[in-house]
Amino acid sequence: MKIIEPKMEVEKFDGKAIMKRLERACRTCYRSEGSITDESYKTLLNNCITRGHESILEHEKITIRMTCDIGVYKDLTRHRIASFSVESTRYCNYGKDKFDNEIKVMRPCNIDPNSKLYEHWTTAMEQIEKEYLAMSKEGATADQLRMLLPHSTAAEVTMSANIREWKHIFNLRANNHAHPAIQQLLIPLLLLFKKEMPEIFSDVPYNEKFEEMYFQKLADISYMKD
């Protein structure tokens, strides 16, 4: 069994360029393209968002790739206006050489690694892996084996959502009511969006008490690098 940390990769994007494209799309409504300047997108987007006219934000999307636990992607896939490609536990048999003959589980950020609770969690994960590998050797299919896998199981997810939906996702998943495992991934992503597109994301709240030591560092999506 291998205990790993979550991972978050983000496609390269230019926040200002995205907002200027959103402005151009919005000005179609008023045929006011002639009013575009280098800074005009700021006022226009602020006005639209203040008045609740956020449909224009749907013209642009951003893609991320993350390694998270099953519980995290179960929460995220409840957001319907997004696209997901998720590592399938129906087809991935972790008892095969391709997966190093082991189950990878995500280190829980809400259990002290020096506590008895962590010992119990580790013991449970090891026992699950033992039985999983035993069943795999007996010829069990991935379809059968998936029923053993706990929420802590690590999985890779590629996710795309438009800008409006990202706002909605952050509002629900970056606050203190969301599970800590999803907060540690989405809060740093939200902070990046706030930095790159403040006119759109500055009003999105998040759990400011979540400890920064648990934030996952962001990287460029490897398969999208030049």
Q: For the segment 42-100, what is each residue's pLDDT rounded down to a tens digit?
A: 999 999 999 999 999 999 999 999 999 999 999 999 998 999 999 999 999 999 999 99
Q: What is the mean pLDDT of residues 140-152?
A: 96
Q: What is the mean pLDDT of residues 207-216?
A: 94
Confidence of residue 224 (pLDDT cuts 50, 70, 90): low
Contact predicate 186/95, CB 8 Å: no
Q: Could you read off the pLDDT of 18-35 as tens digits, one per residue?
A: 999 999 999 999 999 999
Chain center to CA of 33? 35
| The predicted structure's pLDDT at residue 223 | 63
Confidence of residue 222 (pLDDT cuts 50, 70, 90): confident
Q: Is residue 213 over pLDDT 70?
A: yes
Closest listed residue to residue 64, CA positions, set 158, 196, 168: 158
Secondary structure class of 11 (helix, strand, coil): coil
Q: What is the mean pLDDT of residues 132-156?
A: 97
Q: Is residue 14 over pLDDT 80?
A: yes
Cβ neighbour number for residue 177 with a 10 Å cutoff? 9
Cβ neighbour number for residue 26 with a 10 Å cutoff? 20
Instruction: Return the structure tokens found at 197.
Output: 């597109």
Closest listed residue to residue 86, CA positions, set 13, 157, 1: 157
Q: Is residue 198 over pLDDT 90?
A: yes
Tokens 């280190």, residue? Answer: 107
Confidence of residue 226 (pLDDT cuts 50, 70, 90): low
| The predicted structure's pLDDT at residue 80 | 86
Mean of the per-residue pLDDT values of the chain: 95
Sheet holding 82-86, edge to edge: 82-86, 154-162, 61-69, 7-10, 218-220
Q: What is the mean pLDDT of residues 144-172?
A: 97
Q: Look at strands 7-10 and 61-69 and give their pairing.
A: antiparallel
| The predicted structure's pLDDT at residue 25 | 96
Q: What is the mean pLDDT of residues 169-186?
A: 96
